[in-house]
Amino acid sequence: MTATSHNDALQALNADGPLRGRIREIHWAVRSFLPFVARIAVALYDPKTTYLKTFVHSSDGDDPLPHYQAPIGEVPSLKKLLDEKRPRVIQHMLTFESTESEHAERLGRAGYAASYTMPMFSNGTFLGFVFFNSRQADVFTEVALAQLDVFGHLVCLLVLQELAAIRTLSATLESARHIVHARDSETGSHLDRMSRYVRIIARALADRHGLDDEYIERLQSYAPLHDIGKIGIPDAILLKPEGLTEPEMEVMRTHANRGQAILDDLLTNFGIEMLVDAEIVRNIVLYHHERVDGRGYPYGLAGESIPLEARIVAVADVFDALTSRRPYKEAYANDVAFTMIGQLAGTHLDADCVRALVDNREGVEEIQAQFREDSVG
């Protein structure tokens, strides 16, 4: 490893900005002495669903795996790496292309011929994988692997650094959320389902809106925090089983602004007010009750002036509320709920976001099967 590449790698570790930019810096450093490394990529693991999800990458061409996800059980060789907690070298990926998985097939079709894969762990908890890919076969020598091990651990540190800030914020708000939802009728399963509906919608809109996997992952992580401002709503209003009076509705509508204030205090108190993409969670908390016809709250924004992440969360939240049982209503069947959100498209809800969810019914039903509490099919 040259002094220049070493300094570049350390600079990436300490730099600000999106994770994808820092991974790109490390990729440049790697290629300064291992020019055959054409791609570095990270996939994250969701322990609740066992899915692996593409997260961030740096490639010398188009990304061969945009918005890809699959249960780890459908990729036996990666499942073996997880079980054995050891890296893997494939010197000839063509031998995997027709037998392993869609993941391997797509890499093969994109011209990648060899790979080195490292599992990522933090305190014994599996986080995902780091991948180094080459368009040349037989290039991952012992010397190259020793060098890539160093950079693989740097990538892992970057991912941990990135996730630490998100998880610090999320864990704190999760504790506050438990206080809120101990007082109202929403459940953890509602948030598990809703956040995964958010992912379905975002993946469907990704090409049209230029959404990368890093954004989609953050959006799913932050979505459960949308109603954090309810912690400031009095029980007499929050827990009222019948309809609210207009003065009570005025108080309830303050939860969006209350949520933003709570969020900003936490960001400052934890020293992460400059968290990359913190604007995503701010937009979710503040704007998820805006309506595309301009009749929502707190500011009466309309159409595309409402941030996309808030429009996505609104559809996911409304759909799961419709298909969940509440003290004041029974759960609607999916057919009825899909019809109802279709009727809200263009007035309350963003029509593209609604269509993205309706068109992915199979994914919705899979999520409902995994997180059954309160949902019906």
Query: What is residue 148's predicted lDDT score, i.e. its pLDDT?
Result: 96
Per-residue pLDDT of the chain (377 residues; tens, 9 = 90+): 554 545 555 555 555 567 888 999 999 999 999 999 999 999 999 999 999 999 999 998 888 889 999 999 988 889 999 999 999 999 988 655 555 577 788 888 889 999 999 999 998 999 999 999 999 999 999 999 999 999 999 999 999 888 877 777 767 766 665 655 555 555 568 889 999 999 999 999 999 999 999 999 999 988 988 988 888 888 888 888 788 899 999 999 999 999 999 888 877 776 666 565 788 999 999 999 999 999 999 999 999 999 999 999 999 999 999 999 876 678 999 999 999 999 999 999 999 999 999 999 999 999 999 998 644 43
Ramachandran angles phi, psi of 325, nearest 5° = -80, 140
Q: Considering only CA atoms, which of 272, 237, 236, 235 is closest in space to residue 253?
A: 237
Q: Considering only CA atoms, which of 317, 298, 179, 314 is closest in space to residue 235?
A: 179
- Give burial (CB, 10 Å; 0-12/13-18/19+) of 184: middle
Query: What is residue 181's predicted lDDT score, i.e. its pLDDT?
Result: 55
Q: What is the pTM of this model?
A: 0.86
N-term to C-term CA, the chain: 57
Asked whether the beta carbons of 281 and 225 are under 8 A apart, the reply is: yes
Q: Crossing angle, helix 308-322 and helix 213-222, to 10 degrees?
A: 50
Q: Considering only CA atoms, which of 23, 32, 31 is closest in space to residue 58?
A: 23
Q: Considering only CA atoms, which of 238, 215, 370 is closest in space to residue 308?
A: 215
Query: What is residue 338's predicted lDDT score, i.e. its pLDDT?
Result: 98
- Give burial (CB, 10 Å; 0-12/13-18/19+) of 140: buried
Q: Which CATH class is domain 184-370?
A: mainly alpha
Give alpha helix (H) positions in the chain.
3-14, 19-31, 76-84, 94-97, 102-109, 142-183, 188-209, 213-222, 235-238, 246-252, 255-269, 278-287, 308-322, 334-344, 351-358, 361-370
| Residue 33 per-residue DSSP state | T
Report the distance separating Cα 51 and Cα 45, nearest Å.
6
Domain ranges of the chain: 3-162, 184-370
| Superfamily name and number for 3-162 | GAF domain (3.30.450.40)
Query: What is residue 184's predicted lDDT score, i.e. its pLDDT?
Result: 57
Asked whether the beta carbons of 297 and 290 are under 8 A apart, the reply is: yes
Query: What is residue 374's predicted lDDT score, i.e. its pLDDT?
Result: 45
Residue 351: alpha-carbon gap to chain centroid: 22
